[in-house]
Amino acid sequence: MKTLKDVAIGDTAVIKRLHGEGAVRRRIMDMGLTRGTQVHVRKLAPLGDPMELTVRGYELSLRKADASTIEIE
């Protein structure tokens, strides 16, 4: 299973499934990260966490712990 955490800088992926539960899953979905959405990884913070993404035309910062719950194609 490949997750959003594994995507290299500059690459684009499509969300296949969310594995989180409860409030965490709801928060991720509220940010626009839903099945079928294209996500472009723009850059990583200097220490590697968080990662900056482009989702649905806006920039989003996401912790790697949360990104590891998002399965991609």
Question: For the chain, which domains are there?
Answer: 4-72 (2.30.30.90)
**So what's the pLDDT on residue 49?**
86
Q: Coil, strand or helix: which one is 64?
A: helix
Which is nearest to 31 in space by CA: 71, 59, 68, 4?
59
Are 29 and 18 in contact by the 8 Å Cβ rule? The answer is yes
d(CA 15, CA 3): 9
pLDDT in tens, 5-51: 989 999 999 999 998 788 888 998 998 898 999 999 999 988 888 99
